[in-house]
Amino acid sequence: MMITANITQESGASLPLDGEVDTRHGPILYLEDVSVSFDGFRALNHLSLYIDDGELRCLIGPNGAGKTTLMDVITGKTRPDTGEVFFGQTIDLLKMDEPAIAQAGICRKFQKPSVFDALTVFENLELALKTDKRTWPTLFSKLNGEQCERIQEVMLLIGLAGLKNQLAGILSHGQKQWLEIGMLLMQEPKVMLVDEPIAGMTHQEVERTAELLLSLQGRHSIVVVEHDMEFVRSIARKVTVLHEGSVLTEGSMDEVQNDPRVIQVYLGG
Ligand SMILES: Nc1ncnc2c1ncn2[C@@H]1O[C@H](COP(=O)(O)OP(=O)(O)OP(=O)(O)O)[C@@H](O)[C@H]1O
Ligand SMILES: [Mg+2]
């Protein structure tokens, strides 16, 4: 039996339908000349950034460089004072609120895992299934074959298939982080923003997280913010260095690490 109740959509913005992100002639995320000020302080300063469809991008930079603010702008939490932010060619993110942006396929992994401790791994993923959110609740309806397959697929991807019936509350810190990534994956996001994913992880968990993020590229576009340079090196494709709210330089890990301006920013006071 399917129990339905209407939950009104909070967002007044028009929602792009799935698959409508047009990346044929350009990047999946396009930020141009974006500035954000907090009480006169420029957290982002004429920042331009382009993320390609399916790429894994690392974003580094010293404390206060504006990395988290950049994610806040992309997800609609913070409105820039000036600039353009587009999802694909045609979707203007500045015209959408946070729920609409998430619905359109841009999701964010925060540092602290927020899985449901009293539910199993499987149930957490089931709750996160991409369903019509106006239909409530998913747990009372029977999963169809496709949904079961998707949960199985995600459990394998995040390395928790063997712990399907384990309560999330007794997972290790790293496993909880992977479960949360899995919950985001259930929504089949086009873009995933991941802020400092390995904080508090064991060495083994860090390695496994690197493998996981690498396995997601191609199917998803991923932007990873991380301070741990060894970790960044292990997953790095193109690396963007942020400094004082702007892009300082971009390139391979070797290119940016040997760039005198980057060395100056990290070592110079
Ligand atoms: N809501 C806010 N109000 C005032 N200032 C803010 C706010 N959010 C960020 N800032 C300031 O903007 C600057 C950029 O902050 P942000 O958090 O984006 O940096 P970050 O690169 O993520 O740093 P970290 O590596 O420490 O996480 C900082 O100087 C910060 O103090
Ligand atoms: Mg930050």
Digits of tens for pLDDT over the chain (269 positions)?
333 333 333 343 444 444 568 877 679 999 999 999 999 899 999 999 999 999 999 999 999 999 999 999 999 999 999 999 999 999 999 999 999 999 999 999 987 778 999 999 999 999 998 665 555 555 556 778 888 899 999 999 999 999 999 999 999 999 999 999 999 999 999 999 999 999 999 999 999 999 999 999 999 999 999 999 999 999 999 999 999 999 999 999 999 999 999 999 987 75
- Rounded CA-CA distance 196/217 in Å is 17
Q: Which domains occur in the chain, in start order?
A: 29-267 (3.40.50.300)
pTM of the model: 0.88
- Rounded CA-CA distance 211/224 in Å is 13
Considering only CA atoms, which residue is closest to atom 27 of ligand 1?
63
Alpha helices in the chain (DSSP H): 67-74, 98-104, 121-127, 145-157, 173-186, 203-216, 229-235, 253-257, 260-267
Instruction: Ligand 1 pocket test: pick from 38, 232, 243 the residue with the most ligand atoms within 8 Å of its Cβ.
Output: 38
What string of DSSP letters covers 183-223? HHHHT--SEEEEESTTTT--HHHHHHHHHHHHHHBTTBEEE
Considering only CA atoms, which residue is closest to atom 1 of ligand 1?
38
Ligand 1 first shell, C-beta below 6 A: 38, 43, 61, 63-69
Identify which of 58, 59, 52 has the alpha carbon closest to the alpha carbon of residue 88: 52
How far does residue 61's CA lie from ligand 2's centre (Å)? Answer: 9
How far does residue 255's CA lie from ligand 1's centre (Å)? Answer: 26
Q: Which ligand is nearest to the CA of 195?
A: 2
- Rounded CA-CA distance 219/199 in Å is 25
Q: Which ligand is nearest to the CA of 72?
A: 1
